[in-house]
Amino acid sequence: MASASKKTPYAPQRDRPDVAEERAQFRLRQRRLDIGRLVFVDESGTHPGIGPRRGWSPRGEPLYGPHEPYSRGRHVSMIAALRVDGISALMTTDGGVKTADFLRFVRQRLAPTLEPGDIVCWDNINMHKNAEVVAAVLERGAKVVRLPRYSPDFNPIEAAWAKVKAWIRRAMPTTVSELKKAMRRSLRRIRASDALGWLKYCGYRLP
């Protein structure tokens, strides 16, 4: 008998021949990458008023709880870098992440953590291709690897966002200030055991 289960996000574009070839080529390379050198970068965000979506109530009785009355326009973004031992750099910013915000993150938060030989991995959005952004990484002796298009399944930080947002929901922040604190606190809770599990799930070779 079939049962209900949560859908796994899937981009149908990955089945295009050109994208499928990119993914196949990356898989060949993936197992040879030294995970101790890998740094995965991504962005996500949410809004004040976020709260738990589930809870407990006596059988047969409805579950009540506070709704999310706050404006979803008050969006706050977080940018983070994930390594094998956890989060190595993070930043929060009001609104969506613009190229200037991302460049500030790379220069001020990410670059100081990089060592020669590190490999910074991110997706193919335009601000990740910005010349100043890439130069800030290369100046540290690191290199940039762009993940295949439509392939969030190769980026373990995608799993981190799900866990971080679950923690943020439990904190129930109602102001931008509280939300930013909850974001930073939640990102810092990620441990090496979390990162290793996500890396393995995404197909990277563990030590």
Give 91-135 pLDDT, tens digit per residue: 999 999 999 999 999 999 999 999 999 999 999 999 999 999 999
The backbone torsions φ and ψ at residue 98, rounded to the nearest 5 degrees and listed phi first, read -100, 165
Cβ neighbours for 207, distance < 8 A, ≥ 6 positions apart: 35, 36
The backbone torsions φ and ψ at residue 132, rounded to the nearest 5 degrees and listed phi first, read -70, -35
- The residue assigned the tokens 């990102």 is 187
Residue 52, pLDDT > 60, answer no
Q: Are the C-beta atoms of 148 and 123 separated by less than 8 Å? A: no
Q: What is the CATH number of domain 40-50+73-201?
A: 3.30.420.10
Q: Are the C-beta atoms of 152 and 122 separated by less than 8 Å? A: no
Structure confidence at residue 70 (pLDDT): 44
Residue 24, pLDDT > 70, answer yes
Residue 4, pLDDT > 60, answer no
Domain ranges of the chain: 40-50+73-201
Q: What is the percent of the chain where pLDDT is above 70?
A: 84
Cβ neighbours for 164, distance < 8 A, ≥ 6 positions apart: 44, 78, 183, 186, 187, 190
Q: Are the C-beta atoms of 192 and 75 separated by less than 8 Å? A: no
Q: Are the C-beta atoms of 117 and 144 separated by less than 8 Å? A: no
Residue 27, pLDDT > 50, answer yes
Cβ neighbours for 107, distance < 8 A, ≥ 6 positions apart: 136
**Tokens (6 digits) for 198:** 């996500």
Residues 20-43 have a mean pLDDT of 96
Greater model confidence, 103 or 48: 103
Quick one: which H or E segment has residue 199?
helix 192-201
Residue 45, pLDDT > 60, answer yes
Prediction pTM value = 0.85
Which CA distances in Å does 59 have to 5, 56, 62? 21, 9, 8
CA angle, 201 as apex, 102 and 35 as ends, to 5°?
60
